Amino acid sequence: MTVLLALPALLLMAVVFGWPMLRYAWLSFHADSVLTGLVPIPNGGANWLRLLTDSRFWLDAGQTTRFAIVSVGLELILALAIALLLDQRWRGRSAVRALSLLPWALPTTMMALGWRWIFNTPYGPIEQVAEAAGFGPLNLLSTPAMTWIVTVLADVWKTTPFITLILLAGLQTIPEDLYAAFRLEGGSAFQALRRVTIPLLMPYILLSLLFRMAQAFGVFDLIQVLTGGGPAGSTESLALYAYLNGMRFLDFGYSATVMVGGFLLLTALILLGALLLRMTGALRAMQP
C-alpha cells in the first residue's frame, strides 16, 4: 500500500530526474559535437579519460566545493541568528519577517547585475566610498581573491533567507514549555540554545544544509552574470564549465561527462558529510 501511494511521486521523479540523468550517463560515452554533425557516435571511455586528465575540471571541482562549503556555512550561521531574532516577540516583527525574504524572492540574474554595478571600479558605490576614504581602487572584480569573496557575499545575501525560513519554521515546533522547564532548572539562555534549541532544530538544519549544498554545488546564474567565471577562470563553477562545453562549444558528449562527473562528486561529498555526522553523533553518544 505504501509503495502504491508513493508511486505517482516516484514516477514523476523518474521522468524529470532519472531519465535525464540516464540520458546524460549514456551521452557521456559518446562523441556528440559539431564535428560529428551533432550525431552521437559511441567512443568508449574517451570522454572519461579526457575528464580525468582535464586540469580545468578538477580546478573547477575544487573551486565549486570551496564555494559551496564556505557560502552555505556562512549562510547557516547567519540564518540561525536571524531566525532566533525573528522568533522573539517584538513590535514590527511580521513586517521584518516579510522584508527579510526579499533577497530570496528577487531573480538571481537581476540581483547579480545589481552587484556587478555595485562592485564596479571606479563607478560603484563601494569603490566610491573606498576612494573617498583614501583606500584607492579596490578592483573588487579584477583580482581573483577579491572576486571570490564578492561571489560568496552575493550568494550569502541572496540565499540566507531560504535557510532562515526553514529554521524559523523549525523553531516554531519547539514547545514553549521546554524552555520554561529549562529555566526552572536554572539553565541560562545560552545553555538553552545549546541543549534545547539546536538539538531539536537539527533535522531542519540538516534539511536546509542538504538543499543548499546541492544548490550551491550547481551554482550557475549568479557566477555567469557577475563574473562570467573570471578573472582568469578563478570563479568558474562546474555547472558553468558544463554549460560552456554544451551551449558555447556544442560538445554535448563532453558536456554530459562534466555534468555526470560533477554529480558523482556531489554524491560523494554528501555521503562523506553524512558519514562524518554519523561518526560525530556516535562519538557524542559514547560520552556520558
Partner 1 sequence: MRRGFRIASGLIGLLFVLACLAWSGQKQPVPVSILMPAPYADASTQMVEAFNREHRGSIHLEVIRGPLETESISDLAISSLLLGDTPFDALLMDVTWLPKYAEAGWLEPLDPWFDQAALDQLILGARLGNHHKGQLYRWPLGADVGVLYWRTDLMDSPPSTPEQLSDIAINLVQTKRVTNGYVWQGRQYEGLSCNFVEVLHGFGGQWLNPATGQLELDATSAARAAAWMQSLITTGASPKAVTNYSESESLQAFKAGDAAFMRNWPYAWAELQKPESNVRGNVGIALMVAEPDQSPAATVGSWGLSLLKQSPHREAAVEAIRYLTSEAAQRERFLNQGYTPTSKSLFTDPELIAVSSALPEIAKALDYSVSRPPSPLYAQLSDLLQRQLNGLLTAEPEKTNRTIDTATAASAAAMNSVQTKSDMLLRATGAEA
Q: Contact between 248 and partner 1 (CB under 8 A)?
A: yes
Quick one: which of 229, 257, 259, 266 contacts partner 1 (CB under 8 A)?
A: 229
- Please, which residue, 27 or 72, has the CB nearer to partner 1? 27
Quick one: which of 84, 97, 103, 143 contacts partner 1 (CB under 8 A)?
A: 143
- Please, which residue, 140 or 167, has the CB nearer to partner 1? 140
Dihedral of CA atoms 239, 102, 157, 244 in degrees, nearest 10, equals 20
Question: In which residue are the cell numbers 572519461 written?
Answer: 48
Q: Contact between 272 and partner 1 (CB under 8 A)?
A: no
- Please, which residue, 244 or 265, has the CB nearer to partner 1? 244
**Spacing of C-alpha 74 from chain mean position:** 11
Euclidean distance between CA atoms 29 and 44, whole angstroms? 6
Q: Contact between 141 and partner 1 (CB under 8 A)?
A: yes
CB of 144 to partner 1, least distance (A): 6
Q: Identify residues 30-49 at the interface with partner 1 (CB under 8 A).
A: 33-35, 37-38
Q: Contact between 215 and partner 1 (CB under 8 A)?
A: no
Collapsing DSSP states into helix, strand and coil, what is residue 135? Answer: coil
Collapsing DSSP states into helix, strand and coil, what is residue 8? Answer: helix
CB of 214 to partner 1, least distance (A): 24
Secondary-structure breakdown of the chain: helix, strand, coil percentages, each rounded to the nearest 5:
75, 0, 20
CB of 261 to partner 1, least distance (A): 16
Q: Identify residues 14-33 at the interface with partner 1 (CB under 8 A).
A: 33
Q: Contact between 120 and partner 1 (CB under 8 A)?
A: yes
Euclidean distance between CA atoms 60 and 73, whole angstroms? 19
- Please, which residue, 108 or 159, has the CB nearer to partner 1? 108
Quick one: which of 230, 263, 265, 273 contacts partner 1 (CB under 8 A)?
A: 230
Quick one: which of 20, 42, 62, 122 contacts partner 1 (CB under 8 A)?
A: 122
Euclidean distance between CA atoms 164 and 141, whole angstroms? 29
Q: Contact between 62 and partner 1 (CB under 8 A)?
A: no
Compute how many residues bind partner 1; rule: CB under 8 A: 29
Q: How would you classify residue 94: left for phi > 0, otherwise alpha for psi between -120 and 50, otherwise beta?
A: alpha
Q: Helix axis angle, 198-217 relative to 55-87, nearest 10°?
A: 140
Quick one: which of 87, 103, 130, 139 contacts partner 1 (CB under 8 A)?
A: 139
29 is written with which cell numbers?
Answer: 560515452
CB atoms < 10 A from the CB of 100, how many?
Answer: 19
CB atoms < 10 A from the CB of 28, how many?
Answer: 23
Interacting residue ranges for partner 1, rule: CB under 8 A = 33-35, 37-38, 50, 120-123, 137, 139, 141-144, 227-233, 244, 247-251
